[in-house]
Amino acid sequence: MTNLKSYFDHIGIVGGGIGGLTLGCALLKEGIPAVIFEKSSEDASHGAAISLSQNALCLLDRLDIYNDLKNQSFVHSEASIQGPQKEICAFKTTEVLTTHRQVLISLLYSRYLNLGGKIFHDHAITSFDVNKCEAVFSNNKKYTLHHLAACDGIRSSIRDTFFAANQEPKYSGYSAWRGIGKSNLKRIHFALGPDSHIVRYPINNKGDVSFVAVKKEDFQFKESWREEGSFKDLVDDFSMYDPNIFPVFENSMKLYKWGIYIRPPLQSMVFKNITLLGDAAHPMVPFLGQGGCMAIEDAYSFAMLCKNYIGNFIDAQKTYDLIRSKRTKSIQRMSMLQGKIYHKKNPIFVAARNAAMRYSNIPGNDLKKIHGYDAHQVVSNYT
């Protein structure tokens, strides 16, 4: 074991993804020391894009990231929905920005470094002493910290050890094809079918389009949470859909098939000197496009509470748990329900769903309630 390294006045952040980097930026902006420990040495966002609604964008704007992000992304104010073959409706949305996940991570990473942040790569946490607030990593390095923020994803070892022992991530019943192709599409587009749906959206002004095709199936990805797939297999899986839905996938563009996993809601997202954020706290199916947004809300809220409570982590944690648990559990339930609505098979229910979408603005109104949330204002109201 190497000598103990002291960061006794720092919040140690486990995980250098969207949640961890957002937290690092938010803490440093508030003058609170932070250090990030990331297990990987390279990006692993295989074929992944991300959509960010106003509830996340307003926070990224306060972190001085939004303008650069907007310049490298695509901003939408309209979406359309169709069945496997025919259009159902189009509707207005609040501003939604879509981009490649790596674009967002790179901007957060640069902002974090510019604020004076430090990140240690190849650091996979192996144990944490909650009494001494000491973290040990797989490379035999050991650090003493002031507080530990776990942003290490759905397979969080911190969650497993201190919050929900013997509770493995559970296959949701859904798998998803993902890839980045080429298309002249200019808005978010959904296609709904029995036990399946497809989402497409441009992620920049260069013709790059994110393609996600979700299917309900019993097969579980037991050994790997992703695998490469062929375009032929994709088309076979979604043969009922209009073939024009599929973007052009060039030879260098890879397609991946993912198993979508979930975990039951926790009674609390805090324990002693540990706070869970993002997928480590509340993984959810992606049918409302809110997974990344919730991680950003968590990170910004916790950093703001640490500042407002002047380093009193007990009070900051209590308020964080109160505010964020209610919000994230609601979004988890709504996301799961959305998948059931998308995947209706009974012709009577499908007709009723399509009519409701076509003759009302239900899709747009439902999203406005989610997108209109301002974590900054909510935290201000509690402190």
pLDDT band at 228 (very low <50, low <70, confident <90, very high): confident
- Per DSSP, the residues of 181-221 read EE----SEEEEEETTEEEEEEE-SSSSEEEEEEEEE-S---
When mean pLDDT is compared across 11-20, 73-82, 271-280, the lowest value belongs to 73-82
Q: Which of 52, 48, 77 is nearest to 65 (CA)?
A: 52
What pLDDT was estimated at residue 223? 43
Of the segments 71-75, 242-246, 362-366, which one has the largest average pLDDT value? Answer: 71-75
More confident of the two residues 77 and 294: 294
**Rounded Cα–Cα distance for residues 15 and 24 (Å):** 10
CATH code matching the domain that covers 5-48+101-169+263-382, chosen among 3.40.50.150, 1.25.40.20, 3.50.50.60, 3.10.20.740: 3.50.50.60
pLDDT category at 98 given cuts 50, 70, 90 is very high
Which ranges of the chain does DSSP label H, i.e. alpha helix?
18-29, 54-62, 66-71, 101-114, 157-162, 231-237, 291-308, 313-342, 347-359, 362-371, 375-382
Distance separating alpha carbons of residues 288 and 321, to the nearest angstrom: 22
Residue 47 pLDDT grade (very low, low, confident, very high; cuts 50, 70, 90)? low
pLDDT, tens only, 231-240: 888 999 999 9
87 in Cβ contact with 81 (< 8 Å): yes
Domain boundaries, the chain: 5-48+101-169+263-382
Task: Please give the mean pLDDT across all residues of the chain.
Answer: 92
Model confidence at 213: pLDDT above 90: yes
Structure tokens given for 5: 């390294």
What is the pLDDT at residue 3? Answer: 72
From residue 175, alpha-carbon distances to 234, 237, 286 in Å are: 12, 11, 11
Task: Please say whether the beta carbons of 21 and 109 come within 8 A.
Answer: yes
